[in-house]
Amino acid sequence: MLGALANWLLGRGIERFREKRWFPIGPAALDRAQGWYRRFGKWSLLASWLPIVGDPITVMAGVLREPLPTFLLLVAIAKVGRYLVLAAATTGLA
């Protein structure tokens, strides 16, 4: 949860650096990511537990100003769900 929150905070301030030459994401890639988040909206945060795509989703939520309470609730549901499934699988309950 703290990592997702850090990503959200980074996303909130990242737009001001978009035109800098050293910015690690190209304008087209950033526009594409924003379009994807706008298409699927806040519900995409339920996929924040996924490796590779989870972090960019949480950053885009910050860039697009997803309200913090909504962000935290959906990310918590995703992360708790992931660990419940892992716990069930490793204890033989699944």
Question: Which has more pLDDT, 43 or 17?
Answer: 43
* 94 confidence band (pLDDT: 50, 70, 90): low
Contact in structure between 21 and 51 (CB atoms under 8 Å): no
Q: Could you tell me how far CA 46 lies from the centroid of its own chain?
A: 9
Determine the pLDDT at residue 43. 94
Q: Is the pLDDT of residue 93 over 70?
A: yes
Give the start-to-end residue ranges of the domains of the chain: 2-91
Alpha helices in the chain (DSSP H): 2-14, 27-40, 54-63, 68-91
Determine the pLDDT at residue 23. 78
